[in-house]
Amino acid sequence: MRRERGNINFLENKKNINAKYQESVEAKKLKKLIREQLNNPLDKIEAIINSLVINNGIKLINATNLTMGDRAYNLQFSRFLTNEKFQPICFVISLLAPYYYYYIIDISMNNPFVPNGYKWEKNNGRNKEFELDTKFKEIINIVSKEIEATLNYKKFPEKLIDKIIPDISYQNIEIGNFTYFNAFFLNEYYCLG
């Protein structure tokens, strides 16, 4: 039995929700959207990348991994690298809604880390304090303005980004841990190494 809340169907039976979700209308639409983006990437994403290089000398890496079920483009600026720290700025642009978001991953080069094939393991994580640091703010502002001007997208509200949406699981995210970030962007904060 299902009940509807807005445009999202929630299943009453919370057991094995992930398996049931895979057969839902929403899952099928998401898979179709991802297939379309894999076959015909959004030209405006390339326009953003090219414009930033030409006008500002900012080189973003397109680290999008739609084959893993990401619901967003993932553009990364990786200039901040020292002997001790790797601090990429990641800009995620939703496929599902007119929103983008950015975050900084703080990776210690002194701690043992192992890339698991497409991202860094969880022993390193998002550093919210860096997002306010002037060292990063100039790049964040320039890229944000380019995304907003090219796509007419808005930054997803900070107060909602980590808010839990109850009764939903998706892939490796268990019920009670699914957030708005997961819904519109990625399963977790990550970057390519």
- Tell whether the model's pLDDT for residue 120 goes beyond 60: no
- Tell whether the model's pLDDT for residue 115 goes beyond 60: no
d(CA 193, CA 103): 15
The rounded mean pLDDT for the chain is 75
Report the share of the chain in percent with pLDDT over 70.
Answer: 68
d(CA 50, CA 56): 10
pLDDT of residue 44: 77
pLDDT of residue 14: 40
The arithmetic mean of pLDDT across residues 35-56, rounded, is 75
d(CA 10, CA 24): 10
Closest CA to 18 of 133, 193, 150, 168: 168
pLDDT band at 39 (very low <50, low <70, confident <90, very high): low
Q: State pTM to two decimals.
A: 0.75
- Tell whether the model's pLDDT for residue 89 goes beyond 80: yes
pLDDT band at 169 (very low <50, low <70, confident <90, very high): confident
- For residues 171 and 119, the model is more confident at 171
- Tell whether the model's pLDDT for residue 165 goes beyond 80: yes
pLDDT tens-digit profile of 124-143? Answer: 577 888 888 888 888 899 99
pLDDT of residue 193: 60
Name every residue whose Cβ is closer than 8 Å to that of residue 146 and which is 6 or more positions away in sequence.
48, 51, 52
* DSSP notation for the chain: -EEEETTEEEES--TTHHHHHTTSHHHHHHHHHHHHHHHS--HHHHHHHHHHHHHH-PPPEE---GGGT-SEEEEEE---B-SSEE--EEEEEESSSSEEEEEEEEEESSS---B-SSSB-TTSEE-TGGGG-HHHHHHHHHHHHHHHHHH--EEPPHHHHT-B-TT--BTTBPTT--BHHHHHT-SS-----
d(CA 20, CA 95): 22
